[in-house]
Amino acid sequence: MKMTPAGLLVFSSLLTRTLCVIAPQIPDFKIGDKKVINGPFWHEVFTETYEEHEEDLSTTTSEPLPFFEDDTSTSNLTAQLGSRVHLHCRVHDLGEKTISWVRRRGDELHLLSFGRHTYSADSRYSLAFEHPNDWRLLIQYVSDRDEGYYECQISTHPPLVRRVHLGVVVPKVEIVDERGRPLQDKFYKEGSIIELRCVVSEVPQPANQVNWKHGSRMLNYDTKRGGVSVKTEATSNGALSRLYIANANRNDSGNYTCSLADVATSAVSVHVLRGENPLAMQRGAASALSHPLASAVVLFIS
């Protein structure tokens, strides 16, 4: 049947009145309720669940965010070759978050530790936690390849990062004469006092432990020969150590070394002479110094 415009208008009016009568009978939706709506104009049952998306601020408590005790800007740390060093990372209010240490090389990151576990294949690296909140990274037997950037990260989103730059210095050790010039050979007359001076420099902290050896024999605590003494004093960037041997004899000739741990060493060859003409030795020394290929500094001590 084809409906005329007048009929269509009447039908629309009746439909509108019917909806107005039915609509008030439908209960209001409440948050969290499950509703079933049955209506004469719907032949299907619609079921919807309305959930609350907004948090109740009155009952929600937020945990404090973790933060670094020290400045988050890049800190610089210097370590001596062969030493051990701690990279500090002090964190407050860590909560359930986790600390990790990574080594940065350009755009690459290499995991060293996660939580209290070490993941580096290099056994020199380890996590050395110190109560109450210092997640220290320990590096033992520092080498020059350890120099670079390290990052302490907190597992927030995004991660909180504190960066440390480790610099490695190589100490310098030299046996010198009275004028501070490096020595390779030194001559003494039998019965005189042997005095050798060793200068240690370019170390991050004053060094007190300087070892002297005659051949393979340690002289610092030597009591067998007698008349041997070692005096070492710290300087602003290292140490000055002096070796004294009283009443020199031919057995005191040989190779002497001055060393800072096992990191740096300097050596000198000592010659104790018996009955040689001092003037002749001085001429020999002058000849060696004037020769263009000479590499040793020769000195006679009367």
Mind listing the pLDDT tens digit for each residue in 187-199? 999 999 999 999 9
Parse the chain into domains and list their residue ranges: 67-169, 172-285+295-301
* pLDDT, average across residues 27-44: 41
Mean pLDDT across the stretch 257-280?
82
- Strand partners for 47: 36
Residue 61: the pLDDT is 61
Least confident of 23-27, 69-73, 200-204, 219-223: 23-27
ω into 132 cis (within 30 of 0): yes
Contact predicate 141/82, CB 8 Å: yes
Three-state DSSP state, 289: helix
CATH fold for domain 67-169: Immunoglobulin-like (2.60.40)
Burial class (CB in 10 A: 0-12, 13-18, 19+), 188: buried
pLDDT value, residue 208: 62
Higher pLDDT, 9 or 133: 133
pLDDT at 70 over 80: yes
Q: 2.60.40.10, 2.40.160.50, 2.40.50.140, 2.60.120.560: which CATH number matches 172-285+295-301? A: 2.60.40.10
Instruction: Give the Cα separation of 137 and 126 in Å (integer).
Output: 6
Check residues 223 and 150 and name the one with the higher pLDDT.
Answer: 150
pLDDT (tens digit per residue) in 91-141: 999 999 999 999 999 889 999 999 999 999 999 999 999 999 999 999 999
User: Tell me, what amino acid is at 259?
Assistant: S
Q: How does pLDDT run across 131-186, given as a tens digit for each residue?
A: 999 999 999 999 999 999 999 999 999 999 999 999 999 999 999 998 899 999 99
Q: Is the pLDDT of residue 36 over 90?
A: no
Mean of pLDDT values over 3-10: 56
Residue 288: pLDDT over 80: no
Instruction: Enter the tokens of residue 284.
Output: 């020999």
- Confidence at residue 21, expressed as pLDDT on a 0 to 100 scale: 47
Q: Is 32 helix (H, G, I), strand (E, B) or coil?
A: coil
Q: How far apart are CA 286 and CA 280, in angstroms?
A: 10
Tokens, residue 217 = 């024999």
User: Contact, 215 vs 204, CB < 8 A?
Assistant: no
Q: Rounded to whole angstroms, how far apart are CA atoms 140 and 82?
A: 8
Q: Residue 192 and residue 276: Cα distance in Å, rounded? A: 14
CA gap 254, 295 in Å, rounded = 18
Tell me the β-bridge partners of 260: 210, 264
pTM: 0.61
Q: CB–CB of 298/282 below 8 Å? A: no
Tokens matching residue 162:
């504190």
Shared fold status for 67-169 and 172-285+295-301: yes
pLDDT attached to residue 71: 86
171 vs 51, residue with greater confidence:
171
